[in-house]
Amino acid sequence: MLDFPALRRDMVRDQLAARGIRAKPVLDAMRKVPREAFLPQALQPFAYQDSPLPIAAGQTISQPYIVALMAEALALDAGDKVLEIGTGSGYGAAVLAEIASQVFTVERIAELALGAAATLAQLGYRNIHVQNADGTLGWPQAAPYDAIVVTAGGPEVPASLKAQLKTGGALVIPAGGHPGRQTLLRVTRTSQDHFKTEDLGPVCFVPLVGKEGW
């Protein structure tokens, strides 16, 4: 039997802290959330390796470092309401829910949305709300959000998501002109009509599919 808690602690030390992840709430969340629970049983032994892994419907669960990097870039506070686009297995939502007050997460693939909701409920999360819909349009009924994170790469930042971000809030998204290569961006809403964009480095995500994506 694998000692998953020990593997998780090693992952946080060797893959996250050693690479410069410093936010204590993020490190604590990554130590707590059982990544193995969000993987098919055959892949659970590889849960804490330094790479993305395949899940259902041809999608992936992101590399732990990328999950932590994006969560840290949001600079979340405990009372924040977060929108996640691309629920996938639900792992990222669980990490966010350990830090923020409420997480609203949208997944376009019904199989993944149902599976993630079941896993998150089984693990006892009551502050995560899952919706099967076009994530490029956000979740306007629950807007505005203190932070938004997108776990798939789009050609540009969807206007609908920018409109649902509170002033002072951050939106973290992989974006670029090629479905397989993107730049990780942090877009901060500085006023009603103005946004500041920062380049956080090159990344590679599955395509963001939808009305305001590919």
CATH number at residue 68: 3.40.50.150
Gyration radius (Cα) of the chain, Å: 16
Q: Cα separation of 174 and 67, whole Å?
A: 12
Q: Cα separation of 109 and 91, whole Å?
A: 16
What pLDDT shows up at residue 179?
A: 72
- Is 31 among the domain residues? no
For 192, the token pair is 């009603």
Catalytic annotation present for 62: yes
Query: Cβ contacts of residue 9 below 8 Å, gap of 6+?
Result: 31
Q: Cα separation of 114 and 110, whole Å?
A: 6
- Strands 102-107, 81-85: parallel, antiparallel or unpaired by DSSP? parallel
Residue 214: closest CA among 187, 185, 177: 177
- Is 29 among the domain residues? no
Residue 62 burial (CB count, 10 A): 23
What pLDDT shows up at residue 178?
A: 78
Total structural domains in the chain?
A: 1
**pTM metric for this prediction:** 0.96
- Is 175 among the domain residues? yes
- Is 80 among the domain residues? yes
Residue type, 3: D
H or E stretch covering 171: strand 165-178
- Is 58 among the domain residues? yes
Q: Which position among 62, 101, 160, 191 bears the catalytic label?
A: 62
What pLDDT shows up at residue 135?
A: 98
Compute CA 84 distance to the chain's CA centroid, rounded to the nearest angstrom: 6
What pLDDT shows up at residue 181?
A: 84
Q: Are 85 and 106 in contact (CB under 8 A)?
A: yes
Q: 155: cis peptide before it, omega within 30°?
A: no
Q: Chunked in runs of 10, what are the mean pLDDT values of the chain (214 residues)?
A: 96 98 98 98 97 94 97 97 98 98 98 98 98 98 98 96 98 88 96 97 93 96
H or E stretch covering 141: none
Range of the domain at 137: 52-203
- Is 174 among the domain residues? yes
Q: Cα separation of 21 and 29, whole Å?
A: 12
- Is 42 among the domain residues? no
- Is 23 among the domain residues? no
